Amino acid sequence: MASLKEIRTRKASVASTRQITSAMKMVAAAKLRKAQDAITQLRPYAELLQDILVSLGGSLRDDNHNPYLRDDEHPEKILLVLITSNRGLCGAFNSNAIKTTIHRALTTYPNQMLEHDLYFAAIGRKGSDFLRKKGYNLVYSNEEIFDDLTFENAMAIAEKLMAQFVKWDYDRIDIIYNQFKNAGTQIMQEEQFLPIKVPDPEESGGSSLASVDYIFEPSKEYIVEELIPRSLKLQFYKALLDSNASEHGARMTAMHKATDNATELIKELNLEYNKARQASITNEILEITSGAEALKG
């Protein structure tokens, strides 16, 4: 059994840790509320934009000149964009995203891996550190975006990816990130960013906008040319917002569990301390009694 001093020292250490995890939980909860509001406010707009794309599905399929529409049946150069966080202490948030990315690379694009035509881009320090450490072909990293997550900053990264796709640097660009559902649940998403997938009204669940006969002004072609880049930038911004909200939700949950575990451990240490103290007192009483008996003898 550990000594009383050792138990007291350990109990003080656990109590200090509990204080830190409790503070981190409250900070994460405050940040989560702001991040959750941002993603929930953006989703209706993103869904409506998707409905408009569905209604223009025929025009998209007939458009052979748009640089973002391309036959991707046999892509050669692939870019996987991994979105993680800059900091840890958020449970399996980062590890799940990294595992999903590597699994997609090995199972979906094994030939490109062998031919060294598979490239990686990392948004967030945890992802970039892992890819760089393991020697993967990391061509781009950004660790500052989450310090000031705005549409303008996200748009700059999206435009960079779009420009590289137009220049045929890559034949396909995929995004892997955590989609926010609630504070305790994040869903891994693997989305094709470029070339864009032409929505099919039948597969979209019968969008209410798909069956409407619109009069387009100035023209359907002009609207398609303007809508596709806007949709791509919004899709990328939405992925960043989802990942940001998921990170804070995962951290809040992880710190809540850590605080509860620390509380339980302190209870166990108190019980152990009381048992050790009782044993120590009992030994002292036995020593005193033995000494008294010896003096009588």
The one catalytic residue in 90, 123, 162, 224 is 90
Report whether 78 contacts 174 (CB < 8 A): yes
More confidently predicted of 288 and 104: 104
Average pLDDT over residues 91-99: 95
| CB 20, CB 198: distance < 8 Å | no
pTM: 0.85
- Residue 238 makes CB contacts below 8 A (sequence gap 6+) with 39, 42, 43, 46
In the annotation, is 73 catalytic? no
Q: pLDDT-derived band of residue 46, with 50, 70 and 90 as boundaries?
A: confident
Helices assigned H by DSSP within the chain = 4-55, 57-62, 93-108, 110-114, 125-133, 151-166, 220-296
- Mean of the per-residue pLDDT values for the chain? 87
**Integer Cα distance of 81 and 230 in angstroms:** 19
Report yes or no: 125 and 86 within 8 Å, Cβ to Cβ.
Answer: yes
pLDDT, tens digit, 9 for 90 and up, residues 132-183:
999 999 999 999 999 999 999 999 999 999 999 999 999 999 999 999 998 8
